[in-house]
Amino acid sequence: MGLGIDIRHRIAKRAAAEIKNGMIVNLGIGIPSLIPNYVPSAVHVMFHAENGILGLGSSPPLGEEDENVCNAAGYPTTTVQGASYCDSATAFAMIRKGYVDMTILGALEVSEKGDLANWIVPGKRVPGMGGAMELAQKAKKVIVLMNHTSKTGEPKLVKTCSLPLTASSCVGLVITDRAVFKVEKDALLLTELMSPYTVEDILSSTEATVRLSDQLITIP
Could you say which of 50, 109, 112, 134 is catalytic? 50
189 Cβ contact partners less than 8 Å away, ≥ 6 residues apart = 181, 182, 183, 210, 211, 212, 213
Nearest to 183 by CA among 155, 216, 142: 142
Phi/psi at 74 (nearest 5 deg)?
90, 5
Report how far Cα 130 is from the mean position of its chain's Cα atoms. 14
- In the residue annotation, 50 being an active-site residue is answered as yes
CA Rg, the chain, in Å? Answer: 17
Catalytic annotation, residues: 50
